[in-house]
Amino acid sequence: MLYREAGDFKTSYASDSQTFPIRFDRWRYWAVVAVAFGVIPFVIDDYWANAVAVPFLIYAIAAIGLNILTGYCGQVSLGTGGFMAVGAYACYKLMTAFPEVSVLIHVLLAGGVTALVGVLFGLPSLRIKGFYLAVATLAAQFFLVWLFNKVPWFYNYSASGQITVPERTILGVAVTGANTPAWAKYLFCLVLLFVLAWVARNLTRGSVGRKWMAIRDMDIAAEIIGVNPLTTKLSAFAVSSFYIGIAGALFFAVYLGAVEVGEAFGIQKSFVVLFMIIIGGLGSIFGSFAGAAFLVLLPVLLKNVLVGQLGWATDLAAHVELMIVGGLIVAFLIYEPHGIAQLWKLAKEKLRLWPFPH
């Protein structure tokens, strides 16, 4: 019913291998893009931007980044929080050192700095695998947080060790600082997410992504058929860290405005992003979005239902919220280990056959 595929023929290789080969999917994709760019910026208010939309967009970027490394290339990383911190502090240092340069360039450069740091910490991945690599990246997490706490140069010698974002504008509209309108925050993050997700999707469909997946599926076999593990693993670390660095820069500059490294980029941040891609679906761009939505929106939704609608005490609601989110994570892992992306895929298969399943 939903999927009418009659007459949807492919007459060229290009049209057959496009991202959304089914016409209905394509339309839905354009509809989502149109709403995201054409409708939401006009109706969004401060609450929706700061509590829901902006964190969702930023976590989606981080989740795509980690998904490239863990989901596509098979290298488990627990250093996401540390790499986000690199992005945030690089962005801060650049913004305060070169105030006349556009903040967009600073955010991209922050991603570049993080990519370099990511490659550095990715080097051990050539020797160690699996859980051992997870522990090595965990070391990166603790080292980076310690570094940004310890060396005052990173926070410009401020009394409290906090970094606070200065106001910066793009085309005369503030995008960082307290005077930023809600729509500007939202659009700035959305544009970056749109471009980054588009690039990620196409990278993973091309030869680069195929190499990553070959390494993930069986590194020895991949090496034998001519995939260079050095460049492949390091390119995955670089691209992944670039995304995570941009997410960290946005997290600091656009979303929170002031951060301290231990609180904002601690180990729990690494776990949250890892949960996102596990729940959303490893090795899936859509899964990164779904996982970010699940872990950002669900707590806010539960809080508003339990406290706002049912009038529960805030502490009781907070405890119950943790239990519900935790329970759902476990239930997901039991009933659909491949995540929301797999659920979505199954639903789509069923809808294509509906109402005449065989």
Contacts with other proteins, residue ranges (CB under 8 A): 32, 45-47, 50-52, 55, 96, 149, 158-162, 164, 166-167, 177-179, 255-260, 262-264, 266, 289-290, 293, 297, 300-301, 303-305, 307-309, 313-315, 317-319, 322
Q: Which is nearer to other proteins, 62 or 214 (CB)?
A: 62
Closest CB 44 distance from other proteins, rounded Å: 12
DSSP secondary structure string, 157-203?
A: T-TTS-EEPPPEEETTEEEESTT--HHHHHHHHHHHHHHHHHHHHHH
Q: Which is nearer to other proteins, 39 or 123 (CB)?
A: 39
The token pair at 17 is 């291998």
The phi, psi pair for 258, rounded to 5°, reads: -150, 135
DSSP secondary structure string, 22-42?
A: SHHHHHHHHHHHHHHHHTHHH
Q: What's the rounded Cα separation, in Å, for the pair 291 and 48? A: 19
Closest CB 64 distance from other proteins, rounded Å: 15
Closest CB 328 distance from other proteins, rounded Å: 13
| Closest to 256 measured CA to CA, from 74, 138, 92, 114 | 92
Closest CB 101 distance from other proteins, rounded Å: 17
Q: Which is nearer to other proteins, 170 or 302 (CB)?
A: 302
Closest CB 260 distance from other proteins, rounded Å: 5
Q: Which is nearer to other proteins, 128 or 301 (CB)?
A: 301
Q: Which is nearer to other proteins, 229 or 266 (CB)?
A: 266
Other C-beta atoms within 10 Å of 2: how many? 9
Q: What's the rounded Cα separation, in Å, for the pair 23 and 5? A: 8
Q: What's the rounded Cα separation, in Å, for the pair 185 and 175? A: 6
Q: Which is nearer to other proteins, 136 or 317 (CB)?
A: 317
Bridge partners, residue 174, by sequence: 169
Closest CB 262 distance from other proteins, rounded Å: 6
